[in-house]
């Protein structure tokens, strides 16, 4: 079997395995990497950008090396794809959030929010939880599903594992708090670069597939072009704005994180989202993820 066909089949099988089984229940490799990265940080940490760059290079370089050693077979590609994808967990959590909010279980929804994002759930009411969930579903559709598939199409197993290492390190140290303002700089910038293309592919798929949830591609594209660039993240703004436009809602506003409060720009021109909008966002995420898997496999076969 040709190399490109092997990668394409492995990507599709790994995507199917994620859909059927979700994340590994025990001994998750990403959790193992996080523990190893934390141990490495105890050695490499210093309040300097150069220290963070060393940390990023060693951690990500080691994972990419393991990916190269794993080879290019269907089994290795399938397992790596399944390991790095988080699409099914994202959809399941988004639906659970909607179910709890629909019955007024704000406490239950607050308990679920940390699985989606790093905001402080205790300061959010039902409307705030709904907005946070939709914004997180939009961003994680790119980070947890589309981006790994894109990098798998570009570089096979090393691309899959390397991307997940980059994204995990950003989640661990890419904060603007006192400890990581300098040390986490390299992790945050590397993640921004790694997600430049995937976020725009996610935005494009969101625009094209908006009619599936009753949205209009022109409205989604307009929100992306006019408002996405105002977001502090060069990538989250793209996917959140296109999602807001597809749903016909308004996102953004006061957002509380562990490191402080940020006032996010308005994305979309509609009213505040409700629970049904959250359900629509989750459904659109599912469709975008499937389209990305098919597109990634097709590009591998055609381009290689």
The string of pLDDT tens digits covering residues 160-191 is: 999 999 999 999 999 878 899 999 999 999 99
Within 126-216, residue ranges assigned H as helices are: 126-141, 147-173, 180-183, 185-194, 196-209
Question: What's the CA gap between 119 and 129, in Å, rounded?
Answer: 10
pLDDT at 257: 66
More confident residue, 283 or 259: 283
Three-class secondary structure of residue 153 per DSSP = helix
> If phi over 0 gives left and psi between -120 and 50 gives alpha, with beta otherwise, what is residue 24?
beta
Residue 86 has pLDDT above 90, yes or no: yes
Three-class secondary structure of residue 240 per DSSP = helix
Mean pLDDT along residues 41-59: 97
- Measured CA to CA in angstroms, residue 299 lies from 5, 86, 135, 150, 302 at distances of 11, 22, 28, 10, 5
More confident residue, 118 or 59: 59
pLDDT at 1: 57
State the chain's mean pLDDT as an integer: 93
Domain carrying residue 31: 3-303
Task: Decide: 120 and 258 in contact? Cβ < 8 Å.
Answer: yes
- In percent, the amount of the chain with pLDDT more than 90 equals 84
**Half-sphere exposure (Cβ direction) of 95: Cα atoms closer than 13 Å:** 10
The confidence band for 302, taking pLDDT boundaries of 50, 70 and 90, is confident
Mean pLDDT along residues 217-236: 95
Mean pLDDT along residues 54-63: 97
Residue 264 has pLDDT above 60, yes or no: yes
Asked whether the whole model's pTM tops 0.95, one would answer no
**Number of domains into which the chain is organized:** 1
pLDDT at 258: 62
Question: What's the CA gap between 207 and 215, in Å, rounded?
Answer: 9
Structure letter (DSSP) for residue 22: -
Lowest mean pLDDT among 124-128, 257-261, 291-295: 257-261
Task: Decide: 293 and 149 in contact? Cβ < 8 Å.
Answer: yes
Token pair belonging to 138: 């939009």
> If phi over 0 gives left and psi between -120 and 50 gives alpha, with beta otherwise, what is residue 177?
beta
């Amino acid at each position: 079997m040709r190399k490109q066909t092997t990668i394409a089949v492995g990507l599709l099988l790994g995507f199917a395995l994620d859909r059927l089984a979700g994340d590994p229940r025990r001994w998750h490799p990403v959790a193992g990497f996080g523990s190893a990265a934390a141990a490495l940080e105890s050695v490499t940490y210093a309040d300097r950008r150069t220290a963070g760059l060393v940390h990023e290079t060693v951690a990500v370089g080691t994972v990419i090396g393991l990916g190269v050693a794993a080879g290019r077979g269907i089994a290795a590609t399938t397992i790596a794809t399944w390991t790095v994808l988080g699409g099914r967990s994202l959809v399941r959590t988004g639906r659970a959030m909607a179910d709890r909010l629909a019955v007024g279980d704000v406490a239950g929804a607050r308990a679920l929010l940390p699985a989606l994002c790093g905001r402080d759930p205790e300061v959010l009411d039902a409307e705030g939880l709904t907005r946070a969930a939709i914004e997180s579903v939009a961003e994680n559709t790119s980070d947890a599903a589309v981006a790994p598939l894109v990098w798998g199409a570009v570089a096979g197993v090393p691309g899959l594992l390397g991307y997940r290492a980059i994204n995990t390190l950003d989640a661990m140290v890419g904060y603007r708090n006192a400890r990581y303002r300098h040390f986490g700089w390299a992790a945050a910038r590397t993640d921004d670069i790694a997600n430049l293309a995937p976020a725009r592919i996610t935005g494009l798929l969101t625009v094209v597939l908006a009619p599936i949830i009753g949205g209009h591609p022109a409205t989604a594209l307009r929100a992306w072009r006019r408002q996405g660039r105002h977001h502090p993240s060069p990538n989250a703004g793209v996917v959140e704005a296109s999602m807001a436009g597809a749903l016909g809602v308004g996102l953004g506003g006061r957002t509380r994180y562990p490191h402080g409060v940020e006032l996010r720009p308005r994305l979309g021109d509609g009213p505040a989202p409700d629970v049904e909008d959250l359900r629509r966002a989750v459904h659109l995420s599912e469709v975008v993820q499937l389209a990305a898997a098919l597109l990634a496999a097709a590009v591998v076969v055609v381009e290689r």
